[in-house]
Structures are given as C-alpha cells and as structure tokens.
Amino acid sequence: MNIDESYAELGLEPGCSDAEVKEAWRRLAARWHPDRNASPQALRKIQRINRALAEIRRWKAEEEAPGEEEAVVEHALTVTLEEASRGCRRELHGEIVEDCAHCAGSGRQAQPQRCAACEGSGRVRSQLWFSWMQSSMECGACSGQGSTRTHCAHCEGRGRARARKYRCHVQVPAGARAGHLLDASARVHGRTEPLALRVRIALQPHPFFTLDTDGTVRCELPVDGFAWMAERWIEVPTPRGPQQMRLRRGYLTYRVKDQGLGGDCMVTVIPLFPETLGKAQEALVDKLVASNTGASATPAGERMREWEQLMAGWQASQRA
C-alpha cells in the first residue's frame, strides 16, 4: 500500500492535516470494528484502515525528518585582540582529505575477483604420502571465500584520496570572542562543490591587555608621578588604537568608553616617583614649596599663614 492508496483508504486527499487523518481513522474504525460490525469484511477492512494510518504516519515522519547534513570542516583562526576589537577580513588556507570515491574508503576494490589459487572453489587439494591419496583443505589465499579483493588502485589501499587545498575569505565581526563560530564557504582545488567551513575564533595572548568575560579590556601602564600630580595629558593604548587621556591627581583607574571588546577599556596607572632626590630635584622641590605655601598670595599660602598664627598662639599659651 503506497501513500496515495493509504489516503484513499481513509477517504482523504494527499496533504491532509494530522487532525483530518486522525478524525477519518476514528470514523472508519468506529464503523468497521469487528465488535460493532458483523460483516465478514469488517476484519479485513479494519486491518487496511490501520495499515493506511501507519503508512501515512511513517511517510510524514520521513518527510519531516532532517536530511543528511553536509559535512562541515572546522578551521581554527587565531586573531589579535586588536583585530577582534575592530573586526578584520582574513584569508584562510588549508587541506582536506576525503574518503576515496572509488572504494568508499575501504581501500579495496569494490568487486571481488576470482581466487586464482583455488579457481573460486575456496578449497585446494593437498598431496599425501601416496600419489593416489589426496585431500582438500581451505584455500589460504582467499580464506575459503573463493574470491579476493585487491587493494584499490586509485588510493593504493589507503582508503583516502589525495589531499586537496582549499581557500576562502572570512569576515571577523567587531567584538568577536574566543570560541565564536563563523560559517564560511571555501573553494576546493579540483572540486566544483564548495566546502562548508566552520571557523572557530581564538585570541592570541597579548603582552599587556587582559580581557574580562563582559568584554572589558584592562591594562596597566606606568606614568611619571610628577605628571600625575600635575594632571597632564598622556597617550594610553586601547585595542582600537591610542587615545588621549588626562590624569587626575588622586585617581589611579580610568575608563575609556567603548574602546574594549564590546565594552570599555579600563586603564590603571602606576605613578613613578624617584626613590631619592638629586640636588637638582631638591632645588626644584624647594622652588615648588616656596611658590605654593611660601607665598601668602596663594590659597595654600594663606592657609599656611593661618595655621602658623594658630600654632604661635597655642605655643604662647603653653609657656604661660
């Protein structure tokens, strides 16, 4: 019973919904069930109805089942953090080795050949002590099969075809992370059909950037301690290129917006000061002190004068 006959048995047209098929089967089963129908044809009819339902269900299951998926080759692609942040276009090269098409990967000829040692019988005669006494034994050349399969001439018994080179271009999107998968189609030398590639992204270790799971990129960089105190502008690295940033006295960590891997770039500065001051540096510091608190015209100088007057009054009270 084919699929058209199955639908006709239930009084339906091909392509009916599952609900319509189920309803038709229920109606006919109630009519022709031997417990309700005394007709001699009832048993045979109910068997055909059930068979038609089973055939329709089997056919629909095969139609809805996913077809055989195309073989996909994985290709690992390592990019730098900068390339992943900005996005890049890369050319991929590689080789694939497929099963031999002539022997389906078995390494042997598809058609067996008649064994020459036993002439196809699978048995060979063995001469005993006397010339008139003979016995037969299993042919060792074909293991009693009567036929042999020689190595496939196309793959020399390896079962694998020669390696074929492929190449393609792939666009890595901005913000790609390690483990991300990209689909690509590659051209294979000597083959008309394209090769389906699944490209797995890997990130190359960076000398000073680190990556958080949320896409935030972090780095630490040394800065001049006096420049930090003076709140100078400095150039800081980010995955998307150098950026200008102003230091703020008292702050060590700064956020550079949208310069990470789908997030921000967090820059931590390490102010560097001399362990000991040379004479020239001491002279410069003395000038700074004099220009800051030594001059009464500055806010710091005015506050220092107030403190000195307060201290003088306190000391006088202690001597009294």
**Rounded Cα gap, residues 116 and 122, in angstroms:** 10
Residue 13: its pLDDT value, please?
A: 82
Residue 114: strand pairing partners: 147
Of the candidates 183, 209, 205, the residue with the CA atom closest to the CA atom of residue 195: 183
State pTM to two decimals: 0.58
pLDDT tens-place string over residues 249-294: 999 999 999 999 888 999 999 999 999 999 999 999 899 888 888 7
Residues with Cβ within 8 Å of 11's Cβ and at least 6 positions away in sequence, in order, are 24, 28
pLDDT tens-place string over residues 16-37: 888 888 888 888 888 877 777 7
pLDDT tens-place string over residues 221-259: 999 999 999 999 999 999 999 999 999 999 999 999 999
For 17, half-sphere exposure in the C-beta direction (CA atoms, 13 angstrom radius) is: 3
Percent of the chain with pLDDT over 90: 35
Residues with Cβ within 8 Å of 95's Cβ and at least 6 positions away in sequence, in order, are 163, 164, 165, 166
**Rounded Cα gap, residues 149 and 20, in angstroms:** 55
Residues with Cβ within 8 Å of 105's Cβ and at least 6 positions away in sequence, in order, are 99, 159, 160
Residue 8: its pLDDT value, please?
A: 86
Query: Are 75 and 197 a contacting pair, CB within 8 Å?
Result: yes
Range name among 39-43, 69-73, 199-203 with the lowest pLDDT average? 69-73
Phi, psi of 269 (to 5 degrees): -95, 150
Query: What is the dihedral sign for C-alpha 215, 221, 226, 227?
Result: negative
Structure-token pair, residue 87:
């996005």
> 147-148 and 164-172 as β-strands: parallel, antiparallel, unpaired?
unpaired
Residues with Cβ within 8 Å of 78's Cβ and at least 6 positions away in sequence, in order, are 202, 203, 204
